[in-house]
Amino acid sequence: MLKKLTNLINKLISYSYSNKFRNYSILALSLLLLTLLLASRNFLFHNIIDDGISKITVHANKKIEVEDTEKTDAKKRYESLKVKPVLRPIQDNINGIMKGKLGELLNSVKMVKESDSAPVEKRNKIKGLFDIKEDNYFINTAADYLYNSPEASFAKFASESLFTLDKILEKGVTENELLENKNGIIGQSVSNSFTRTQKLAMTILIGKVLEPNMEEDKNATELAVQKVIANIRPVIASYEKGDLIISSGERVKKVQKEALKLAGYNINRFDFIGIVGIFSLVGLCIFTTLYYIVNFECKFINPSYTGLIALLTGVITSFAVMLPDKISPYVIPIPAMAMLLTIFTSSRTALLVTMLVIVMLGVSLQYSIDYIFVFMLGAIIAIFTSNTINYYRRMDMVRAGFDVGLIQMFVVLVMFLLQNSAENLNLALMVTKMFMAFGNGLISGMITLGIIPLIESAFKIITPYGLAELSDHNQSLLRRLQFEAPGTYHHSLMVSNLCEAAAESIGANPILARVAAFYHDIGKLKRPLFFIENQSYFGIENPHENLNPKLSKMVITAHPKDGVELAREYGLPPIIHQFIIQHHGDGLAAYFYKQALENEGAGSVSEEQFRYNNPKPSSKEAAILMLADAVESAVRALKNPESEEVDDMVDKIVRERLIDGQLSESPLTQKDLKTIGGVFKRVLRGMQHHRVKYHEDILEELNKKSLNGRC
C-alpha cells in the first residue's frame, strides 16, 4: 500500500513538471484571473444603489453634464413618427388603367339607362354592375339616380366622376389607406355642389375601380427618418455644484446613474448571473484559442507560448479595466498586443487571439461599436504591417505603428461622419479622438520595439529581431570562433550561405537557417586543432595520425554536445541548441570507421561504434543545415572541382543522408530535397569558380605597352 502511494506521489510530482500540466495551469489561472478582472468593473463591488433605489442622498461635487439618453431617445421616436412615408408608383400606367375602367363602367350604366327594361330591372342591373347585394333605401336611391337622371345631369356626373378619380390618383393612394378609409378618401374629393344621393352614387362608382397606385418606399422612408434623427441634438441634463442629484429612497433613473458615475460613485452591484456570464465568455474565448492552436498551430502548445498569450491578454485586460471612465478607451494599446503576438507566434494566431480579446473587452466593458470597429481594424493593420517589416531595421517597427495610427485616425473620422450630421458635429471631440487613435498606433509600435528583448529573455522565444542580433559577427562566440578556430568560422560562413538560399527556396525560415549555421560548430572551440579545417591555418600536423580511430571518433563526435554546453554558457536561445545537437544526427563518422576497418578488420568493428549519438533533425531548417554542412565539407575537399564533380558530390551527399535515415524525422519532402540540391549546386558552383590564368608572354606584352605609354 505504501509503495503504491509512493508511486502515485512520484507520478503526480513528475506530472507537475510536464509541459501539459503547465499549459493546463496557465489556462486555468487565466480563466480565473480574467473573469475576476472583467467582472470587477461591473459585477463584484457593492454600491450606493440597492434594487434600483438609492441608499443615500447625493449632491453634485462639481459641475456635471450628462446626456439624458431616455429623453433623447423619446424625442427621436416622437420626431420619427412625424415623418410621412415616402411613396412611389406601383407601376407606370396604373392611373390610365383605372380611368379606362371608370369610362367602361359609365358606358355600361349609360346602356342600362337607355334600355327599355322596367325600373326595377334597371335598378337590379345597375346594382349588378357594382356587385352590390345590399338592399336598403340609400343604395336603391343611388342606383335609381344613375338610371333615372336626365341626360345632361348624367353627362355632368360622368365628367365629375373622371375629374374626382383623377384628383384622388394625383394625390396618390396606398393599399393601407384604401383598407382603412376607402369611402372617406373618395367622399373628401367629391365636389360639395353634389347632393347626398349623387355623392353616394359617385362613391359607389369610383370605389368599384379605385385601386392603390402608390406604395411605400421603405428605404427612402428609413433614410428620411434617419436624417431627422441625426438632426436631433442630445438632451443634456446639467447639475451645478451643490445641486441635488438624487435623494435617499428615490428610484434611480438612467441619467442619474451617469451623473453619479461622473461624481465618482460606484453604481454597479454584485451580480452572480453577470459573473457566470463573464466566466462563460472568457471560457469560450480560451477554448476557441486552444482548439485552434491544437489543430492548426500545434508548435505553440508550449508553456512559453501559452504563458506569453496569457500574459499579454492579462495586461491588456487590466489596463482596460483600470482605465478611468473619463479617459477614452482609444488609449488601450491593442495594436501593440497584435504586433507582439505576430512577431512571437504567427499572424493567424495573433489575429484570432486579438479579435477574441477585443470581443471579451467589448462585451464585458460594454464598449460602443465605434471602439470595437477601430480596435479590430487597427489590430488587423498592425498584424499586416508587422509581417512585412525588415527585422534588420528596428525603426521599421515604429514606422509600422505610425501606419496603424494613420488607419485608426481615418476610421475614427469615418465613424464620426457616419453618425453625425453637419449641424451636430462636435469638431473638437472628433479631432481629439482622432489624435488619440493615431497616438495609440504610434506608441504601440514603440512599446513593441522596447518590450521584445524582455519577452525574448523571459520566455526564451527567439524572434527575427533576436536572430538579427545573433547574426552580428561581433557576438562574443563568433569572435572567439574567428580567432580560435578560423577554419571552422570560414566553413560556417559558407554553410550559412547555402542554408539561407536553400531555406528561402522551399519556404522555410532563411534567417533562422542562416544564424543557426553560424553557431552549429561552436563545439569545436573546445578542441579546435583536432578539426582539419583549422590545422592548415595554424600549420600543424594532424593529431589524429597519432590516435586510435575510436579515440579520434570520440573527440570528433563530442563537438555537438560541447557546442550545446557553450550555447548554454553564452545564453543562446534553446532553438539554436537544437541545431547544434541535431546537425549530425546519428550519422556515421565514415573516415574513422574506414580507418578502423583497415586497422582491425571487419570482425572487430561495427558501424554503431562510429556513429554520433545525437537526435536527428526535426525541422526543415535543421535538415537543411545537416545537408549544407556535409556538402560544403565534401566539395571543399575536392581539388579544383569541375561543375559536374560538384553536382555529383551534392547528389551523393543528399542520397547518402536519405538512405541512412538521417532525414526521417524532418518534414522535408522529395520535392524539397530536389529543390535544395539544385540550390546547393548553383551556390557551390559560384563559390568554386576559377580565376583566369594569364600566360607569362601576355603579362610581358602588357608590361611593354605600359612602359611605352610612359615614354
What CATH number is attached to the domain comprising 545?
A: 1.10.3210
Residues 6+ apart with CB under 8 A from 143: 123, 126, 127, 132, 201
User: Does some domain include residue 444?
Assistant: yes
CB 238 within 8 A of CB 67: no
Closest by alpha carbon to 634, among 486, 520, 491, 500?
491
Task: With a cut of 70, list the residues of the chain below it in pLDDT.
Answer: 1-5, 7-17, 42-47, 50, 92, 133, 137-138, 264-271, 392, 421-424, 688-711
Same-domain check for residues 438 and 519: no
Query: How far apart are the C-alpha atoms of 464 and 573, rounded to whole Å?
Result: 12
Pairing label, strands 236-239, 53-54: unpaired
> Is residue 676 a contact partner of residue 631, using CB atoms and an 8 Å limit?
no
Distance separating alpha carbons of residues 270 and 616, to the nearest angstrom: 58
Asked whether residue 451 falls in the same domain as residue 527, the answer is no
Structural domain harbouring 470 = 466-687
Q: How many CA atoms lie within 13 A of 543 on its CB side?
A: 14
Q: What is the per-residue pLDDT across 542-579, written as a single tens digit (0 to 9) for each?
A: 788 778 888 888 988 999 999 999 999 998 988 999 99
With 0-12 CB in 10 A as exposed, 13-18 as middle and 19+ as buried, what is 216? middle
pLDDT score for 190: 79
Output the pLDDT for position 318.
94
Characterise 663 by phi-psi region: left (phi > 0), alpha (psi -120 to 50), beta (else): alpha
Exposure of 620 by Cβ count < 10 A (0-12 exposed, 13-18 middle, 19+ buried)?
A: buried
| Residue 234 located in a structural domain | no
540 and 653 share a domain?
Answer: yes
- Confirm whether 698 is domain-assigned: no
Strand, helix or coil at 689?
coil
In a domain, 649, yes or no: yes
Q: Which long-range contacts (CB under 8 A, 24 or more apart) does 69-74 make?
A: 69/234, 69/254, 69/255, 69/258, 70/253, 70/254, 70/255, 71/235, 71/255, 72/232, 72/234, 72/235
Residue with cell 495594436: 335
Domain assignment of residue 109, yes or no: yes
CA 162, chain centre distance (Å): 66
Q: Is residue 108 part of a domain?
A: yes
Long-range pairs of 320-324 with CB within 8 A, sequence gap ≥ 24: 320/361, 320/365, 321/37, 321/38, 321/40, 321/41, 321/365
The dihedral region occupied by 531, where left means phi > 0, alpha psi between -120 and 50, and beta the remainder, is beta
pLDDT of residue 114: 74
663 shares a domain with 591: yes
Residues 425, 332: one domain?
Answer: yes
The Cα–Cα gap between 497 and 518 comes to 10
Query: Does residue 455 sit in the same domain as residue 475?
Result: no
In a domain, 72, yes or no: no
Do 183 and 315 share a domain, yes or no?
no
pLDDT at res. 266? 60
| Most distant CA atoms of the chain, gap in Å | 147
Residues 489 and 451 both lie in one domain: no
Domain count, the chain: 3
Cell numbers for 90, please give them: 406601383
User: Looking at the structure, do residues 292 and 331 belong to the same domain, yes or no?
Assistant: yes
Nearest Cα neighbor of 406 from 357, 439, 446 is 439
Angstrom distance (rounded) from CA 248 to CA 56? 4
The type of residue at 650 is: V
CA distance 209 to 101: 6
Last residue of a domain, one of 439, 461, 483: 461
Contact 317, 41 (CB under 8 A): no
Cα 466 to Cα 462: distance, rounded to the nearest angstrom: 6
Q: Are residues 501 and 429 in the same domain?
A: no
Task: Report the C-alpha gap between 692 and 689 in whole angstroms.
Answer: 10
Q: How far apart are CA 243 and CA 256, in angstroms?
A: 12
**How many angstroms separate the CA atoms of 335 and 492, rounded?**
39
Orientation angle between helical segments 151-171 and 196-209, nearest 10 degrees:
50
pTM value? 0.63
Contacts of 199 (CB under 8 A, 6+ apart): 187, 190
Which of 651, 646, 656, 642 is CA-nearest to residue 676?
Answer: 651
Query: Which among 417, 439, 461 is the end of a domain?
Result: 461
Q: Find the length of the chain.
A: 711
Question: What local confidence, expressed as pLDDT, does residue 49 receive?
Answer: 72
Coil, strand, or helix at residue 424?
A: coil
Asked, for residue 231, whether it belongs to a domain, the answer is: no
Contact of 257 with 343, CB cutoff 8 Å: no
398 and 309 in a common domain: yes
Both 385 and 471 in a single domain? no
Q: What pLDDT score does 694 carry?
A: 46
